[in-house]
Chains A and B, each alone.
Chain A
Amino acid sequence: MQYKIGIDVGGTFTDFLLTSKDGSSEIYKVLSTPDDPSMGLMEGLAEMAKARNISLKEFIKDVETIVHGTTVTTNAVLTRRGARTGLLTTKGLRDALEMRRGIREEQYNNRYTNVEPLVPRHLRFPVEERLDYKGDIVIPLREEDIFDAAKLFKKEGIEAIAICFMNSFANDAHESIAEKIIEQELGKSSPYLTVSSSFFPSIRFYDRVSTTVLNSYVGPILKGYIRSLINKLKDVGFKGVLLIMQSNGGVVSPQIAMDKAAVTLLSGPAAGPVAGIEYTSVQGYDDCLTIDMGGTSFDAALIKDKTPLVTTEGEINRLRIALPMLGIVTIGAGGGSIGWVDEGGLLRMGPQSAGSKPGPACYDLGGELPTCTDADLVLGYLDKDFFAGGKIPLNYERAERAIKEKIATPLGMNMVEAAAGMYRVINVNMASGVREVSVKRGHDPREFPLVVAGGAGPVHACMIALELEIPVMVIPKESSIFCAAGMLMSDLKHNFVRTYSTSLNKLNKKKFRSMFNEMQKEATELLRSENIPERSIQYIYSLDMRYVKQYHEVNVEMTADELERGNIESVVSKFHPEHNRLYGYSLEEVGTPIELINLRLTSIGKTTKPKFEKEKHDKLDPSDAFKKKRKVYLPLKGAFEEIPVYDGHRLRYGNRVEGPAVIEQVNTTTFVTPEYNILCDKYGSYTMYLKTKEKEIKKKVVGV
């Protein structure tokens, strides 16, 4: 048992990182198989076996852990291919799911339509019952309604059911009865059932009903996928541990993922921040920003004190998902982003993308529109004969023509100016994505090292950093399969929430304690079922609080000691400064009372991480890796210049590459502008820094 494998299924490629006990690692990439993603996954495993000249069965015997990030739930929502779902909800309120509180995201666009609800109105079954704000029964449950619903659901061929009643966060009595009747009438395991009071007992009706329905909608699909994957792995004799990536940046056992399928909904980019922490903490950083630029989208995240930012205000395709997830900002900017000129004569980039079909004009697959990749090519950042290590030859003339026709001519400039403009505009767009996760949340991006990932990321990194005045960047060796790497570094993680809405001075400490105890018991049992011993479990307690009459809560952590002693005062003393940090003021001096809304518990089960091989220290001079010289456009100079190109696979720990330069690897290219230098660290990552920072960085990376 010596291998751990991280597997990230993307839109175009499935990425693999294989790590061995001895610290070595290998990257694999195969084409994704969207109809059944497990096929691509098995193909990748087969390739690994083949590279070792052994059979898959022999190879798999040595695999200890597979961590798998899947987008099957995400895609089910995006393409509307989830389960046929029915909803049981309180009579009189059945449209909350579809109304989405009445928002129209594009106010001036009368052709913009509402999102089709995941459950059509005739399958949202109204049930006579009612609890008040405290959970006391106002109208008793009419059980006949549940029997009638069961009949309807049977007749309609329902595959999944969600139960969500008004105020059930305060009392699960009615939902439990409904659950029992449904199970009794329709069977225990089929259809897939989600009950809001046990799945997500948190106040705010729309948030809860939307999240509960999403879970049921994607549940059967994830369940089916994981089962088939487990069978395939079993068939080849896999005896190790399989773990699934979640949107909260943690991993989970397949059994639990099948019950709480919605925890995987935005898990695609969730391993990125975890990876960012690992790559920067080896250099002594506690904080970092991560960016990941792929073919169609750009993800940005912020990590403070080795902890990624978590949000409960997520959305998928305009549908609310209130489970805690990493606060990752995604914008439509990638290699495939299309450049266009608007009616007023301004240049725009994206959000439309040429995708992989027809792809950028230079792919020569029929694409006529100029994309970011086309601009990168004509500006000399990409080598037409060494894209994807030469696997995809790029057509320079087609790129040039597309840019000339669609951008240069309408704007009355030459082709190079137009391409440089495209490069610049998309960099500004991405910089505003970074600003959104940093400045808008009260953090100064200049204080964070920027971790750059994704195939296209390192081509654009310097200019994004200059735009934001960021002095230091880290480009991991595994940059192109960043998320697959992050998966191997993730811990098991579960989130729990209970609503206890009260003014703090009326807080019943006994009730408060018992709610936390209840969550902790649940957490421990869950992790035990995932084979995590109690001593490897870490608990994080926190409270959602706000000033009386405010509408938005601030989450404040509570230590185990504070919980033990019931020391609310000391938590409050952290609330005021946190409010001030986030929003620019506190009402401590005015003496405004504080109210509690939610209690939260996060449980973390530590997993064993792969160890990466350290390189031996080499000389400063990188000339052993020198490839050739090439003409490349220097943005701030506004002209082409002949600059050195290096082979990234031959760069060694301690080598310094002075900008301007280009570093080529099979799956990614790094463009170092004249303002920056690069120093290679002992794990094969590049630290890119403003030349003025040389001394400081050398000390961090090389130690002298």
Chain B
Amino acid sequence: MKIDKILVSVFQRRFKSITEEMSIVLEKTTRSPILCEAKDFVTGLYDGKGKMLEQTENLPILSFSLGPVCEYIVRYFGDDIHAGDVIFHNDVFSMGNQNNDVAVYKPIFYKDKLIAWSASKGHQADVGGAVAGGYNPRATEVWQETLRIPPVKVYERGKLREDVWDLIFANIRFDIVAADMRAQIGSCVVGERGVQKLVEKYGLKVFESHKEYLFDSTEKMMRAEIKTIPNGVYRGESSVYYDGRTPGSKYKIRVKITVEDEEITFDYSDTDPQTDGFVNGTYTSSASATLLTFLQMVNPDMPHNDGMVRPVKIIIPEGTILNAKYPAATTFGNHLCPPNADAIIRALSHAIPKRVTAGWNQLLCYLTSGFDPRKKDSYVDIGFLGLKGGSGATHGVDGYDHIGMIDASGGVLDQDYEMFEQQTPHLLLHHEYWPDSAGAGQWRGGLGVETKFKIGGEKTKVVTFGDGDEEAPFGLFEGKTATLNKIELQYPDGKVYKTTSKDLVEDVPKGTILFQQAGGGGGYGNPYLRRPAQVAQEVKNGIISIEKAKEDHGVVINPETFEVDIKETEKIRKKEK
């Protein structure tokens, strides 16, 4: 069949806009704040075999498992897939990335032929298991974390299977989960209609052949990108601290990256074995992390489809911390993305020094829950306010301030302060850039943030999960490291408790102050090469102290006028050289 190259562009644009429409449905209709406020969800379209056509990736870490699960579903149901079916899935042992990230798949038919799939996946507020919300540091097996949902039809040929629906939601704590899953189904219906219209217009043959051409052309684009990386074998490693069970525990992620002309392989065979607790990755959460980190080093305009992943090979042996064996607990797996990214960045910094960033701030998040006497109702708040640290700097560009973990790369927003006070009984006292938190460099890291609020309400429980409180984000090429994460409870009686990175604190009294520091990102290049005028401006703006300006950058600044003392500065900078 003759390919109309223009039509290929039309299809690509159309796939993208359909997934965007699917995303808007979720943003506007879901009720759990992690979905509608923080946009912790993704939508996508896949071909009849489950190959990615296009995605809208608000939170990239979720997105690259949708395709593999779709392929699994196609194999699993075989010829028992019908128009009007709706399939749920969250099982991490059949390619799911995290128990809480529950996916909905809807097959798309054209004249009795399965031609594509629409899918949406969102972080659900509860998935059953021993602890509300799913984060259970004490879990050692998957059943303590979640209700496992291997692919199951909740609608068959357009008819709701009430028994299946009831079975699932009988095992889930909050009503809003059922409502939010309905929204996800709605999103898939929007995707289904969009694809059907397209095929009706152009015919199936044209659709199929042009889709393949699109895959090939994107593959070509990715191959061209890989070709710009010098051939070689590059190694990098990073550490994962504290598995939630044994204080002081530490694990290594080791990656060997082989670049051979137009292909790249990420091999994690030397990575440490899995933990006994829930600090374990699944294959797709780890492979997603690999992909999203690598995508930041290539042309950001690349269409996202199956062609993009063809020249990329990812090897993660089962039994490692990045791909735990059944029936391990794995809820923390998405949060292994930051250390995974660190290992990749370190390895590739030798190959493409100008395209990598220094280390990013890693996620450390709090969750408060309890009773709000103002509303006479319980509340849960996932602390998006406070968790966003800085990104690492890169050649020519400073890091991004207050962006948050690399798994989201600025796709997750913090709560509006006034809405926060309407919806929780807390009083926000402080939420500002954290001065001197960024790693210094010719290009500095992004700034971290300090947050302080007074806990109101009763029966307060504080849960923490994350990392970054033991090893600070690294600098590159003489750039400096940044600062650590910290969460601290300052009790009304004056006692102070610093939480661990995976903690659960109960009976926190009213009036306690939760203080959080989200660290900055690492610096890039020698800080002595940073323009003194720029340092002076930052001192004037109060994000670098006069002391640090001198210590890190060798820039002396007059505390009255904020002008650079050129003589003194030159003297220091010369001496140190």
Contacts from A to B (Cβ < 8 Å): 92-96, 98-99, 101-114, 120-122, 130, 132-133, 138, 166-167, 169, 203-207, 342-348, 411, 413, 420-421, 424-425, 428-429, 432, 435-436, 439-440, 501, 503, 547, 549-552, 582-585, 587, 590
Chain A, residue nearest B357 (CB): A110
CB of A584 within 8 A of CB of B186, answer yes
CB of A582 within 8 A of CB of B400, answer no
The interface bits of chain B over 280-299 (1 if a CB of A lies within 8 angstroms of the residue's CB, else 0) are: 00000000000010011001
Task: Chain B residues near A345: list those with CB within 8 A.
Answer: 5, 217, 220-221
Known A203-B419, A343-B221, A584-B25: A103·B410 in contact at CB below 8 Å: yes
Interface check B403, CB cutoff 8 A? yes
CB of A551 within 8 A of CB of B33, answer yes
**Which of B102-110, B425-433, B495-503, B568-576 interfaces with chain A?**
B425-433
A128: shortest Cβ distance to chain B, in Å? 12
User: Which of chain B's residues 442-462 have a Cβ closer than 8 Å to chain A?
Assistant: 449, 452
B229: shortest Cβ distance to chain A, in Å? 15
Task: Chain A residues near B14: list those with CB within 8 A.
Answer: 428, 432
CB of A111 within 8 A of CB of B5, answer no
Please, how many angstroms separate the alpha-carbon atoms of A133 and B425 in the complex?
A: 9
Task: Chain B residues near A114: list those with CB within 8 A.
Answer: 400-401
CB of A93 within 8 A of CB of B428, answer yes
Contacts from B to A (Cβ < 8 Å): 5-6, 8-10, 12-14, 17, 20-21, 24-25, 27-29, 31, 33, 36-37, 57, 60, 176, 179, 182-183, 186, 189, 217-218, 220-221, 224-225, 292, 295-296, 299-303, 357, 375, 388, 391, 394, 396-398, 400-404, 408-414, 416-419, 421-423, 427-433, 449, 452, 540-543
CB of B10 within 8 A of CB of A424, answer yes
- Pick the 3 closest A-B CB pairs, nearest first: A104-B410, A344-B221, A121-B541
Task: Chain A residues near B33: list those with CB within 8 A.
Answer: 551
Please, how many angstroms separate the alpha-carbon atoms of A300 and B9 in the complex?
A: 22
Partner among B5, B431, B432 whose Cβ is within 8 Å of the Cβ of A413: B5
CB of A113 within 8 A of CB of B397, answer yes
Give 11 pairs: A residue, B residue, CB < 8 Å, sorted on A: A95-B402, A96-B431, A101-B413, A102-B414, A104-B403, A108-B296, A166-B428, A346-B12, A347-B5, A421-B9, A503-B375
Task: Chain A residues near B299: list those with CB within 8 A.
Answer: 343
Known A204-B418, A424-B10: A550·B296 in contact at CB below 8 Å: no
CB of B402 within 8 A of CB of A346, answer no
CB of A342 within 8 A of CB of B410, answer no
Please, how many angstroms separate the alpha-carbon atoms of A436 and B23 in the complex?
A: 13
Task: Chain A residues near B403: list those with CB within 8 A.
Answer: 102, 104
Task: Chain B residues near A166: list those with CB within 8 A.
Answer: 417-418, 428
Of A93, A132, A428, A587, which is in contact with the most chain B CB atoms at under 10 Å from its CB? A428
Please, how many angstroms separate the alpha-carbon atoms of A357 and B271 in the complex?
A: 57
CB of A347 within 8 A of CB of B9, answer yes
CB of A346 within 8 A of CB of B400, answer no
CB of A110 within 8 A of CB of B391, answer yes
Task: Chain B residues near A585: list those with CB within 8 A.
Answer: 29, 182-183, 186
CB of A102 within 8 A of CB of B432, answer no
A577: shortest Cβ distance to chain B, in Å? 15
CB of B17 within 8 A of CB of A432, answer yes
Partner among B6, B301, B302 whose Cβ is within 8 Å of the Cβ of A347: B6
Task: Chain A residues near B17: list those with CB within 8 A.
Answer: 432, 435-436
CB of B413 within 8 A of CB of A342, answer no
* Other A-B pairs, 7, CB within 8 Å; known A109-B296, A122-B540, A346-B12: A92-B452, A93-B431, A102-B410, A344-B221, A347-B5, A421-B9, A432-B17
Please, how many angstroms separate the alpha-carbon atoms of A309 and B139 in the complex?
A: 51
B181: shortest Cβ distance to chain A, in Å? 12
CB of B421 within 8 A of CB of A167, answer yes
Task: Chain B residues near A94: list those with CB within 8 A.
Answer: 432
Known A106-B300, A132-B427: A205·B6 in contact at CB below 8 Å: no
A486: shortest Cβ distance to chain B, in Å? 28
